C-alpha cells in the first residue's frame, strides 16, 4: 500500500523504488551463470555496420590479447582478453543486455544532440542523497552494497541513462490544471489518520469469514491488527502515517476511506497489494495554503513523475523496437549442468591416461 506522506517521504520511496526498478531494468548483476557466444550460422546475415562509422568498422586492437592486467609467478601474464572471456562466461548474458540498452539510448541521444555532463550526474546524486538524508558513504554501504552495486555503476548505469531518457522525454509531457489540482490536494489537502489490516489475496475466504467480528469488536480489530502478516504493520497495530487523496494509486480505496467517520471500519477492499480493512481514527483538515503558492514546485514534481512513471518506460520500448537488437549470447548453464560437464571431462581424462600404450 503506497502512501505519499511528505516530500521527504516521497523522495525516500522514489530512491529505493528507483534502485530496485533500475536494477531490474538494466539487468541482474552478480550472476555466476555461464554464457557462450553463438555467432550467426552460414548464410545468416548479422547486423549491418555503417561504413561511414569509423568506430564501427575499426578492427579490434591487435594487442588486445597481449595487454596485461595481472601476472602470476612474476612472469605468467593474464591479459585483457583472458579477463574479458572470464567475465563473459560468468555474466555475459546479463551484462550484454545492459550494454545494448545503454548503447541504444546513447545512439538516439547522439542523433538528437543530447548529452549528460558529469556535473549533471553529480547534481542528481546530490539530490538523491539529500532526499534520502544520507551521506555518500552511507549511501554506498547501506543502499548500494545490498544490491552489489558500486557508486560508479550507479552513476553510469542508473543516473546517466535515466537523465538521457529524461531529456528525450521532456517534450512529451504536459501538465494540466487538473494535474495541478490533484497534486495540490495530495500534498496540502485533507488527510486521513487511520489503522489498516492487510491480508494476502489468497486469504480472501478467511477474511470474509472473520470480518464481522473485526467490524463489531474493537478488541478483535486490535488483536488481528497486531497479528497481521506484514511485520511493520503488525508492530504499529496497523497504524500508518496520514495520507491524502490521489496518493495511493487506488482512487476507489481512497474514496471509501475518506467517507468513514472516526471510529468507523470500512468494508473489505480488494487492492493489488491484497485485501484491506481501514479503521478511521481522525480526519485532518487542509493546511490552509493556496495552489498558486506552490504552482511552480508542483509543476516540476508532476513533470518528473510523469516522465519517470509513464514516458520513460514507453519511450524505451519504442527505442528498442526501432533498434531491433540481436544478441548472440545464450542463456547461462545451470550449476548442475556445469558439474555434469566437469565430471565428463574428468572421466575422459581418466580413460585416456589408463588406456594401454599404442591405443
- CA 82 vs. chain centroid, Å, equals 32
Partners of 276 in the beta sheet?
198, 269
Task: Give me the domain span that covers residue 311.
Answer: 1-38+66-189+286-330
- CA 115 vs. chain centroid, Å, equals 23
The answer to whether the CB of 238 falls within 8 A of the CB of 266 is: no
Residue 346 lies in a domain: no
| 291 shares a domain with 273 | no
| 118 shares a domain with 108 | yes
CATH number at residue 210: 3.10.50.40
What's the pLDDT at 333? Answer: 53
Strands 239-244 and 191-199: what pairing? antiparallel
Residue 347 lies in a domain: no
| 213 shares a domain with 77 | no
| 243 shares a domain with 98 | no
Residue 234 lies in a domain: yes
Output b/e per residue, 183-210; b: 16+ Cβ within 10 A. bbbbbbbebbebbbbbbeeeeeeebeee
- How far apart are alpha carbons 205 and 203 in whole angstroms? 6
What's the pLDDT at 350? Answer: 67
The number of distinct structural domains making up the chain is 2
pLDDT per residue as tens digits for the range 198-227: 999 999 999 999 999 999 999 999 999 999
- State which of 284, 316, 347 marks the end of a domain: 284
| 203 shares a domain with 118 | no
* C-alpha cell read off for 195: 489503522
What's the pLDDT at 62? Answer: 61
What's the pLDDT at 110? Answer: 95
Residue 143 lies in a domain: yes
Task: Single out the residue of 262, 291, 296 nearest to residue 278, CA to CA.
Answer: 262
Place of cell 512513471: 309
Residue 56 lies in a domain: no
Partners of 77 in the beta sheet?
71
What's the pLDDT at 154? Answer: 94
| 167 shares a domain with 277 | no
* C-alpha cell read off for 138: 552511507
| 125 shares a domain with 179 | yes
| 133 shares a domain with 255 | no
- State which of 284, 313, 347 marks the end of a domain: 284
pTM over 0.85: no
| 142 shares a domain with 30 | yes
What's the pLDDT at 356? Answer: 59
| 16 shares a domain with 116 | yes
pLDDT per residue as tens digits for the range 141-151: 999 999 888 99
Query: 269 — alpha (psi -120 to 50), left (phi > 0) or beta?
Result: beta
| 309 shares a domain with 271 | no
Q: What is the mean pLDDT of each run of 10 residues along the chain (359 residues)?
A: 37 35 34 33 42 43 80 93 88 86 95 96 94 92 91 94 95 95 96 97 94 95 95 95 93 94 96 95 96 95 92 94 87 59 68 59
Task: Single out the residue of 236, 256, 234 nearest to residue 245, CA to CA.
Answer: 256
What's the pLDDT at 46? Answer: 43
What's the pLDDT at 3? Answer: 36
Partners of 191 in the beta sheet?
244, 284
- How far apart are alpha carbons 63 and 335 in whole angstroms? 34
- CA 32 vs. chain centroid, Å, equals 21
Residue 358 lies in a domain: no
The answer to whether the CB of 63 falls within 8 A of the CB of 81 is: no
3-state SS of the chain is CCCCCCHHHHHHHHHHHHHHHHHHHCCCCCCCCECCECCCCCCCCCCCCCCCCHHHHCCCCCCHHHCEEEEECCCEEEEHHHHHHHHHHHHHHHHHHHHHHHHHHHHHHHHCCCCCCHHHHHHHHHHHHHHHCCCHHHHHHHHHHHHCCCHHHHHHHHHHHHHHHHHHHHHHCCCCHHHHHHHHHHHHCCEEEEEEEEECHHHHHHHHHHHHHHHHCHHHHHHHHCCCCCHHHHHCCCEEEEEECCCCCCHHHHHHHHCCCCCCECCCEEECCEEEEEEEEEEECCCCCCHHHHHHHHHHHHHHHHHHHHHHHHHHHHHHHHHCCCCCECCCECHHHHHHHHHHHHHHHHHHHHCCCCC
What's the pLDDT at 242? Answer: 96
* C-alpha cell read off for 323: 533498434
The answer to whether the CB of 90 falls within 8 A of the CB of 33 is: yes
- State which of 284, 316, 348 marks the end of a domain: 284
Residue 335 lies in a domain: no
Residue 352 lies in a domain: no
| 254 shares a domain with 179 | no
Amino acid at each position: 500500500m503506497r502512501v505519499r506522506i511528505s516530500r521527504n517521504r516521497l523522495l525516500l520511496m522514489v530512491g529505493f523504488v528507483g534502485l530496485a526498478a533500475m536494477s531490474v531494468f538494466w539487468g541482474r548483476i552478480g550472476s555466476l551463470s555461464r554464457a557462450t557466444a553463438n555467432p550467426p550460422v552460414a548464410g545468416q546475415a548479422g547486423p549491418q555496420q555503417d561504413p561511414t562509422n569509423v568506430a564501427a568498422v575499426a578492427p579490434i586492437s591487435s594487442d588486445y590479447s597481449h595487454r596485461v592486467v595481472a601476472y602470476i609467478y612474476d612472469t605468467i601474464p593474464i591479459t585483457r582478453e583472458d579477463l574479458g572471456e572470464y567475465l563473459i562466461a560468468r555474466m555475459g548474458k546479463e551484462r550484454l543486455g545492459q550494454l545494448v540498452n545503454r548503447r541504444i539510448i546513447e545512439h538516439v541521444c547522439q542523433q538528437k544532440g543530447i548529452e549528460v555532463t558529469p556535473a549533471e550526474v553529480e547534481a542528481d546524486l546530490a539530490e538523491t542523497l539529500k532526499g534520502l538524508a544520507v551521506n555518500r558513504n552511507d549511501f554506498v554501504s547501506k543502499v548500494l552494497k545490498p544490491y552489489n552495486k558500486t557508486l560508479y555503476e550507479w552513476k553510469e548505469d542508473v543516473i546517466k541513462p535515466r537523465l538521457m531518457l529524461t531529456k528525450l522525454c521532456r517534450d512529451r509531457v504536459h501538465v494540466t490544471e487538473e494535474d495541478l489540482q490533484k497534486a495540490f490536494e495530495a500534498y496540502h489537502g485533507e488527510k486521513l489518520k487511520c489503522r489498516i489490516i492487510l491480508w494476502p489475496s489468497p486469504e480472501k475466504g478467511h477474511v470474509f469469514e472473520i470480518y464481522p467480528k473485526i467490524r463489531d469488536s474493537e478488541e478483535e480489530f486490535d488483536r488481528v491488527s497486531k497479528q497481521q502478516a506484514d511485520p511493520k504493520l503488525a508492530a504499529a497495530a496497523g497504524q500508518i502515517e496520514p495520507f491524502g487523496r490521489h496518493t495511493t494509486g487506488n482512487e476507489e480505496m481512497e474514496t471509501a476511506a475518506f467517507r468513514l467517520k472516526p471510529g468507523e471500519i470500512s468494508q473489505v477492499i480488494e487492492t493489488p497489494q491484497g485485501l484491506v480493512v481501514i479503521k478511521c481514527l481522525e480526519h485532518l483538515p487542509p493546511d490552509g495554503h493556496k495552489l498558486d503558492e506552490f504552482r511552480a514546485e508542483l509543476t516540476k514534481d508532476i513533470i518528473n513523475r510523469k516522465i519517470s512513471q509513464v514516458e520513460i518506460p514507453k519511450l524505451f520500448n519504442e527505442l528498442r523496437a526501432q533498434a531491433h537488437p540481436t544478441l548472440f549470447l545464450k542463456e547461462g548453464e545451470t550449476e548442475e549442468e556445469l558439474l555434469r560437464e566437469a565430471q565428463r571431462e574428468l572421466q575422459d581424462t581418466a580413460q585416456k591416461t589408463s588406456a594401454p600404450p599404442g591405443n
